């Protein structure tokens, strides 16, 4: 059963930002009526204050739109973002990046998560459009330590929103960033000098801060939309869920006249524990509203056990459903992988083992999947 296509005005909480892309206030409280184009938005309570990272309960701000949109989809604009035949590529290059503005930074994970992951909304004013599955480049401030006098190298981040952004107006893009922190293996103490330059810059950013963007880049993870009833199997570890959040918002949240998804989207997400789950409220909402079109399986390595009694990793979940997955692939399903490159050997080994159990050659099958453009991988 395809998701309902009705559109209506949806009440969401949203920060107020001006035509220059900058936030009008670093702290927004109370009720605000926000207008984007011809749509009115009724703002709720946002308590960012001056803190660079919001507490976990701030996730409810994003999820309000999910709960409302589950009943009727959200209108988006401008619809001419649908008209291009080809995706935008490298509109802004490292030598001439675009100066965008941080709208908000919020912590996505709970207190028991190992490490910190943030959701960062960036206002590009409609100047750096992208498609779902693409990446932005970010140039952190400061000098390149290997090239004195030169700027820092570009760091690529998968975009975690649809082309319309979190506020459905085509002016923002969102990133899902894990703060990279280095701890000395002998002392166990943090060594700030070895921390990730760009991830810490992004997670420490405040509304109104400027950011140098390049891109968008990438074509391998673009969502194929020719067949609206296709099956899409998405496998992510950690922040690798970013492009899949964009896919799913496009499929289930936004009212797009020329894209009515009626197929199956199946997300496998591997993280350490329940507190590490990313965008869980959004995904759970889709599961409740569109049970015929969405499946959601989690692998929590520190909380769940696999069939052998070991830690549950995403490849173990794949093995659990391997027969069904292989049948879907045989019928033309697309399969996507996104996350740390260390995820792929275990997944490949699992798929090879399953193929052999089915009397198939995995090498031949993989070659055919690639030839058919069913196989999409982006690891880092």
Feature table: binding site for NADP(+)? 158, 178, 239, 301-302, 311, 339-340, 378
Judged by phi (left if over 0) then psi (alpha if -120 to 50, else beta), residue 90 lies in left
List, as one string, the DSSP characters of 349-373: HHHHHHHHHTT--HHHHHHHHHHTT
Active site residue 338: yes
Instruction: Name the strands in the sheet holding 155-158, side by side, starting at the edge strand that comes first in the sequence.
Output: 155-158, 135-139, 210-217, 98-107, 117-123, 172-178
Give the 3-state secondary structure of residue 211.
strand
Q: How far apart are CA 341 and CA 261, in angstroms?
A: 30
Q: At what angle do helices 280-289 and 242-252 cross, to 10 degrees?
A: 30
Q: Which one from 158, 174, 205, 276 is the annotated catalytic residue?
A: 158
Active site residue 360: no
Q: Which one from 92, 130, 136, 157 is the annotated catalytic residue?
A: 157
Cα distances from 249 to residues 60, 83, 253, 279, 330, in angstroms, run: 16, 19, 5, 11, 27
Closest to 312 (Cα-Cα) out of 298, 301, 297: 301
Active site residue 51: no
Active site residue 158: yes
Active site residue 35: no
Q: How far apart are CA 251 and CA 294, in angstroms?
A: 10
Cite the active site residues.
157-158, 338, 378, 380
């Amino acid at each position: 059963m395809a998701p309902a296509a009705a559109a209506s005005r949806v009440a969401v909480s949203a920060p107020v930002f001006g035509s220059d892309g900058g936030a009008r206030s670093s702290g927004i409280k109370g009720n605000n009526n926000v207008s984007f184009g011809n749509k009115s938005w009724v703002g709720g309570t946002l308590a960012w204050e001056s803190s660079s990272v919001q507490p976990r309960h701030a996730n409810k701000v994003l999820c309000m739109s999910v709960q409302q949109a589950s009943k009727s989809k959200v209108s988006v604009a401008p619809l001419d973002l649908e008209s291009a035949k080809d995706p935008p590529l490298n509109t802004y290059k490292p030598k001439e990046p675009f100066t965008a503005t941080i709208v908000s930074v919020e912590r996505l994970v709970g207190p028991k998560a190992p490490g910190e992951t943030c959701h960062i909304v960036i206002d590009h004013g409609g100047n750096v459009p992208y498609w779902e599955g693409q990446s932005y480049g970010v140039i952190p401030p400061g000098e390149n330590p290997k090239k004195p006098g030169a700027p820092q190298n570009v760091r690529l981040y998968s975009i975690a929103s649809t082309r319309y952004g979190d506020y459905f107006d085509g002016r923002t893009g969102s990133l899902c960033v894990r703060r990279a922190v280095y701890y000395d293996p002998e002392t166990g103490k943090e060594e700030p000098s070895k921390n990730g330059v760009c991830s810490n810059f992004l997670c420490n950013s405040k509304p109104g801060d400027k950011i140098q963007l390049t891109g968008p880049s990438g074509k391998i993870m673009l969502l194929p939309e020719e067949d609206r009833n296709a099956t899409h199997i998405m496998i992510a570890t950690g922040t690798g869920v970013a492009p899949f959040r964009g896919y799913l918002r496009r499929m289930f949240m936004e009212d797009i006249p020329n894209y009515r998804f009626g197929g199956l989207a199946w997300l496998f997400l591997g993280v350490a524990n329940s507190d590490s789950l990313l965008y869980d409220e959004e995904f759970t909402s889709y599961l409740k509203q569109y049970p015929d079109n969405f499946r959601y399986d989690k692998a929590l390595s520190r909380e769940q056990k696999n069939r052998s009694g070991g830690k549950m990793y995403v490849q173990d979940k794949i093995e659990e459903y391997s027969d069904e997955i292989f049948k879907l692939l045989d019928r033309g399903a697309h399969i996507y992988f996104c996350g740390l490159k260390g995820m792929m050997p275990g997944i490949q080994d699992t798929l090879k083992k399953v193929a052999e159990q089915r009397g198939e050659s995995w090498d031949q099958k993989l070659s055919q999947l690639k030839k058919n453009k069913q196989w999409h991988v982006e690891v880092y």
